Structure 1
Amino acid sequence: MDKLQTYESARAWSGPELAARRDWIYTLSKTQINELVAAAESTSDRDIVSLEHDDFDLPALEPVLKRVRTELLEGRGVTILRGLPIDDWPIARTARVYWAIASRMGVPIAQNALGNVLGHVFDVGGNADDPHQRAHQSTGALPFHTDISAEIVGLLCIRSARLGGASALASVTTLWNELVATRPNLAAELLQPFHLDRRGDEIKGQDPWFHMPILALTPTEVLVCHNPRFIRSAQRFPQVPALRPIQEEAIDLLQALADDPRFKLEIDFQPGDIQLINNMALLHSRNAYEDWPEPERRRHLLRLWLSVPDGRLLPKAFFARQGADPATGRPAGFPLPTGAAYAAPLEAPHLIR
């Protein structure tokens, strides 16, 4: 086996190292918040999905958002924007302010076959282990994974759970360097294709599974696209080869390293926080949680999946799930049925199967 390279960059951080710093958390000023509110109100007569970068005038916040975007794409890959007074706002204003910020990061893509570009992470009785349901609609634990297709993932915290629900991040660059140093055979295995379950999202002519590597290397970075639940549920199809023991070991070790206190960053997610991550550079997870019985008090996050039209060249394998979006040339979101259109619902939808 050829010697595998390691990577030294701003992305090669450890959780304890980043937790000791505060320069990746930005608290918005009153002036910046007022500017966001004005931008939201000035577009209130338009459908949110029609709004783009040039529809929002943000002179005070623009330099900050440029730095945030650079940090996401070229730096550590994570930022939290803190301080939005969402308890005082209607959900329509919160969503519009969020959309204005996201317009500086990338282009929203569909998160489901309904065309929803504004997602709601909210328990509606889903089962995270059911391959026909969406895990973000459950209270179950989610192992370290990425949201397949998105280049940047945004989460805006509206409410926290009653108990549990803590989230964590891990740098794939750091995990890769550890694998190369300690288990290079398993590092190499993660560069090979794995079969993943489409979980009912295939369109006519597609198999109900696809295959791609978990990790990919470029001369300057390690990229990741991984969901262990999708890999394991693909085993329900008789045409999919059984996972080999070395594949199982590689998946398990990647998970164990991501969850290792030496490497993971635990997130103190507060209402009004916006977490933005480079979804192709970091893994994220969530603990199981116990929620409030009243729907209006339940844990609720607003999620955005963004593509980055001017982003770096991506390996061909990273287009395996839905191909390329003809408008941007980047990995596409969910394909829409004929006649469907993008939507930004302001209430959590029913259980999506």
Structure 2
Amino acid sequence: MTVTGACHPADWQGERMAHDDGWHRILTDVHRAELLAAADAVQRAGTPLAELRPDVFPLPTLGPLLTRLAADVTSGSGVGLLRGVPVAGLADRRCEILAAGLACHVGDIVPQLSQRVPLVHVRDEGADPARSTTRSHQHRQRLGFHADPTDVVALLCVRPARSGGLSTIVSAVAVHNEIVRTRPDLAEVLYRPWWYDRRTGDGPESFYQQPVYTRDDAGGLRSHYGPDYIRSAQRSPHVPPLSPAQVEAMTVLDQLTNSPRFVLTMDLRPGDMQFLDNRVVLHSRTAYEDDPDPALRRDLIRLWLRTDRGERTTT
């Protein structure tokens, strides 16, 4: 097969994005008051987070801003950052309502994990990354650049780590096009099936195949890269060893996704909420150290969103 470059507004490099604040949105006092009032109403009514929709969580003045942010994320650069969410001093449940209420204006909330929960807290639970059921949100080690399995991933920062834990992202489109330009032989390898690990245990259902890159019916690019889960799949006796071409393709991918030329780093602070389009943006996290005080430890709330109604969801 012959792989061609992809034309997409998410074809950007880190330095340019770092000097462009067009993907930032800052909440005003009016927005924050409106958001807290909507959260109060949801908490009083006891509405489940999975049932939050724009009509259930109305934001008359903030809603249009979120609609524009959603358009930028899903049809533009693939990146959006909301600043000023009023999380200071709030209990976990209140922060969860704020996160889900904001997210539902960007897309439909998708259940996560085998428990099908509407959100997860990204916290260091002391889990061993080598265990067959440990997921990336449960430990504090560095993560490889990857795409989550839904259209959009949202992260609300409640508290950052004492040190480290930086959010780093790259354009999957820019990386793809660079490989097409410089190593077209490896670009073809990325469109063939690869084995991945769901990390749901040791049974065969934990392992599945899909290409690193695919194109939709309209020719749009979608990335499925996840080096940690590709390498983890090698633990299965039913998964063949990575071929020399796959090893080389991963080496090139990892070099590009970690290159300062492509990487954009965000030091998320309390009240920052990041939105990424998994189809065209890969994300990672640096290793981190937490405060000894449990009340001061890193906590981010993650939601998965579907922006195309009727699309199959993945847990």
**Structure 2: where are the runs of 5+ without partners?**
none
1:199-245: CA deviations, max 9, x gaps?
22699xx6331100010124443211121121112112222111101
Is 1:331 the counterpart of 2:312? The answer is: yes
> Aligned in 2, Cα 1:86/1:282: closer, same or farther, shift over 3 Å?
same
- Supply the AA of the counterpart residue of 1:5: T
Q: 1:215 maps to what in 2? A: 213
Secondary structure of 1:87's match?
coil
Q: 1:67 maps to what in 2? A: 68
Partners of 1:89 and 1:199 in 2: CA distance: 33
Please say if residues 157 and 268 of structure 2, whose CA atoms lie closer than 8 Å, have aligned partners that are also in contact: yes
Q: CA deviation at 1:74?
A: 0.7
**Structure 1: where are the runs of 5+ without partners?**
311-327, 335-353
Partners of 1:98 and 1:230 in 2: CA distance: 27
Q: How does 1:77-88 map to 2 (within 5 A)?
A: 77-88=78-89
Partners of 1:228 and 1:7 in 2: CA distance: 22
Segment drifting more, 109-118 vs 299-308: 109-118
Q: How does 1:23-172 map to 2 (within 5 A)?
A: 23-44=22-43, 45-46=45-46, 47-147=48-148, 149-172=149-172
Secondary structure of 1:81's match?
strand
Q: CA deviation at 1:114?
A: 1.9
Partners of 1:232 and 1:92 in 2: CA distance: 36
Q: CA deviation at 1:270?
A: 0.9
Partners of 2:154 and 2:236 in 1: CA distance: 32
Partners of 1:166 and 1:43 in 2: CA distance: 32
Partners of 1:202 and 1:308 in 2: CA distance: 32
> Aligned in 2, Cα 1:91/1:177: closer, same or farther, shift over 3 Å?
same
In angstroms, what is the RMSD of aligned CA positions? 1.7
Please say if residues 128 and 136 of structure 1, whose CA atoms lie closer than 8 Å, have aligned partners that are also in contact: no
> Aligned in 2, Cα 1:208/1:100: closer, same or farther, shift over 3 Å?
closer
Q: CA deviation at 1:113?
A: 1.3
Q: CA deviation at 1:5?
A: 1.8
Q: How does 1:312-327 map to 2 (within 5 A)?
A: none
Partners of 1:201 and 1:37 in 2: CA distance: 40
Secondary structure of 2:88's match?
helix
Partners of 2:305 and 2:201 in 1: CA distance: 19
Q: 1:182 maps to what in 2? A: 182
Partners of 1:202 and 1:294 in 2: CA distance: 35
- Supply the AA of the counterpart residue of 1:112: L
What TM-score comes out, normalization by structure 1 length? 0.84
Q: 1:257 maps to what in 2? A: 256
- Supply the AA of the counterpart residue of 2:208: F
Partners of 2:162 and 2:63 in 1: CA distance: 36
Please say if residues 95 and 158 of structure 2, whose CA atoms lie closer than 8 Å, have aligned partners that are also in contact: no
1:32-63: CA deviations, max 9, x gaps?
11111111111212233332221122110122
Q: CA deviation at 1:276?
A: 0.5
Count residues with an aligned counterpart: 312
Partners of 1:92 and 1:289 in 2: CA distance: 25
Partners of 2:251 and 2:147 in 1: CA distance: 15
> Aligned in 2, Cα 1:112/1:12: closer, same or farther, shift over 3 Å?
same
> Aligned in 2, Cα 1:137/1:280: closer, same or farther, shift over 3 Å?
same
Partners of 1:254 and 1:82 in 2: CA distance: 31
Partners of 2:55 and 2:123 in 1: CA distance: 31
Secondary structure of 1:43's match?
helix
User: Which is richer in helix?
Assistant: 2
Q: 1:248 maps to what in 2? A: 247
1:167-211: CA deviations, max 9, x gaps?
2000011011111111111111111100112222699xx633110
Is 1:285 the counterpart of 2:284? The answer is: yes
Partners of 1:36 and 1:195 in 2: CA distance: 43
